[in-house]
Amino acid sequence: MKRILTIVLPVVMLPVLASEVYESEIGSILQAVSSTNRMTRLNATNRIDALMMSLSNREEIATCKLLIAKLRTECADITSDESIYDFHAYHDVTNLCWSVLHDFDADRATWPFYGASLLLPLPLSMDKRYGDMFSVATNALFTINAQDGILIDTNVWSVLFGPELLQTSNMRISFRTIAASSLLLSDSAADVSVYTNGLPTSALSVINAIRSE
């Protein structure tokens, strides 16, 4: 019996140890991701990759994927030096977000599904995949309207999207704005009133800017 226990015990402890590693690392990683220093943010990708390799918890892995997706988006958007510009960044973001959406498709009471749904439209729009962009937004909008509440890791979410999107009402505004934008990008004459009625001025300005292009 002792021999069996010595074999089983390390296997049982692996998830516990992985969670301990996550808890010890995630705080400083979030600080790096939200840093005002560009290189600090971009260099955090390697740390997140290393952390993710040690994890087995589904939500912790999703957190890592979405943090990398945010950083990879910034790699495409904020780097001005061609030596560090990565032309594959948007493609990587797309794959990471689709992966999280797939993993949490049956668990929409937790935040990763909505986090991926908010990050994915930008790379889809860069690839002119406006139909997919519309589907992601409306799917998330339909689901969030049916939820009594969403379990959100507020620390991670605030770094990804800012504290204002912690409110589901603001999440709905974002998804409605994305849905209307994707329709207009496909057809500038599209009727988007079902998504724009009642939107705040800041959201309408985004939609009007697309109309005027």
Range of the domain at 112: 2-212
The pLDDT score that the predictor gives to residue 81 is 62
Q: What pLDDT score does 145 carry?
A: 87
- pLDDT given at position 9: 47
Tell me the H-state helices in 79-192. Answer: 89-103, 112-119, 121-126, 130-146, 154-161, 168-186
Q: What is the pLDDT of residue 39?
A: 83
Q: Which two tokens stand for residue 161?
A: 């999207």
Residues of 30-41 as b/e, b for ≥16 C-beta within 10 angstroms? bebbeeeeeeeb
**92/123 Cα distance (integer angstroms):** 9
What's the mean pLDDT in 37-61? 91
- Asked if 161 and 150 touch (Cβ cutoff 8 Å), the reply is no
Query: What's this model's pTM, rounded to 2 decimal places?
Result: 0.86
Nearest in space to 111 (alpha carbons), one of 173, 155, 176, 80? 155
Binning pLDDT at 50, 70 and 90, where does residue 3 land? Answer: very low
Residue 78 has pLDDT above 70, yes or no: no
Domain CATH number, residue 44 = 1.20.190
CA dist., res. 88 & res. 31, Å (int): 25
Question: What mean pLDDT is predicted for residues 189-210?
Answer: 92
pLDDT of residue 41: 86
How many structural domains are present in the chain? 1
